[in-house]
Structure 1
Amino acid sequence: MKLLICLFLLAMPAVASAAETAAIESAPVLSQTEKSIFQFLDDWALAWHNQALNAYLGFYAKDFTPENGLSLAQWRAQRQQRLLAANFVQIQMIAPQITRLHGENATVQFVQKYRSNQLQDQTLKTLQLIREQGRWKILRESTAPIS
């Protein structure tokens, strides 16, 4: 997300037209909480991209519930195997949106493009977040095919 914003800013002309100014001014102002959620997403994706297993797993809540009936231990073993087996991992989040924000809980949804030497796909990802000790963590995640 930061990279896209930086590229957008670099591509802007020195003097913006009225239409460009109106578009920029009409962009929503993010709260500190929303900014912290988007920063969390960037950091999570970077840890995944860097294949930093411990950092990546650290983004998940202590009460994380895996999809498909896996136990937490099975899910961790599966993630370790998949993450470390890949020669590279590329993650792109398209149009992330906070669809629910209430106190210490949030839900985020985005289109995820994943690419490695072993797999390439595009899915709709939903993350249910919870704040633990002042930091956002993933409590649940679900992936759905895009039709």
Structure 2
Amino acid sequence: MNRFLSCVLGSVLLAPAAFAAGPAATTAPAAAAAPADPAAGIREVEAAVRAWAAAWSARDVARYLAAYAGDFTPPRGQDRKAWETDRRTRIEEKAAISVEIDSLVISLKGQAATASFQQTYSADKLREKSRKTLELQRVEGRWLIRKESAGG
């Protein structure tokens, strides 16, 4: 994959390669300072996105849900508790899940980031490809998902 780094009006864009990922935090208090090096911030966001996909693929619901900020807005006006229950059920009922991320492009501006990518989701006999965008916020040194959208 080609790597590029571009600084435009305070934003940083990068199409990164794979980096190691760790578990995400479960709380969402005040944001910590962003790294001084924009490339380090990009690597952190990529690690968070790949950790989220790895947790989903491993059917590790606790780690998957921990990737979402406390103020995450579930889709379709669903309440957070109902969304979590639905996600838990849908993940745990599958025999196997695979979530692959391709063409990842990250934009970073201070404490906020956007990650857009091609997602290939496979579970049991289903296989879907779609564009996905995650909006993340840096919270206590971790990048957490505040909003997600598919399509486009």
TM-score range, shorter chain: 0.7 to 0.9
Secondary structure at the aligned position of 1:64 is classed as: coil
Moved over 6 A (4+): none
Which AA in structure 1 matches 2:56?
A: W
After TM superposition, the structure 1 stretch with the greater mean CA deviation from structure 2, 116-125 or 51-60, is 116-125
Give the deviation of 1:118 after TM superposition: 5.0
Q: 2: CA distance between counterparts of 1:71 and 1:119?
A: 27
Percent identity over the alignment? 31
Q: 1: CA distance between counterparts of 2:49 and 2:73?
A: 18
Structure index of larger Rg: 1
RCO comparison, higher one (Cα < 8 Å, 6+): 2
Secondary structure at the aligned position of 1:109 is classed as: strand
Which of 102, 120, 127 in structure 1 is aligned with 2:109? Answer: 102
What's the CA shift string for 1:88-136, capped at 9, x where partnerless? 00011110101x3111001110010000015321111000000111100
Which of 133, 136, 139 in structure 2 is aligned with 1:132? Answer: 139
| Higher relative helix content | 1
Q: 2: CA distance between counterparts of 1:129 and 1:136?
A: 6
User: How high is the TM-score relative to the length of structure 2?
Assistant: 0.74
**Any gaps of 5 or more consecutive residues in structure 2?**
6-13, 15-38
Q: Note the aligned Cα RMSD (angstroms).
A: 1.7
User: How high is the TM-score relative to the length of structure 1?
Assistant: 0.76
Tell me which residue corresponds to 1:74. 82
What's the CA shift string for 1:15-66, capped at 9, x where partnerless? xxxxxxxxx7xx4366100111111111111111110110110000000001
Tell me which residue corresponds to 2:150. 143
Secondary structure at the aligned position of 2:55 is classed as: helix
**Any gaps of 5 or more consecutive residues in structure 1?**
6-23
Which AA in structure 1 matches 2:132?
A: K
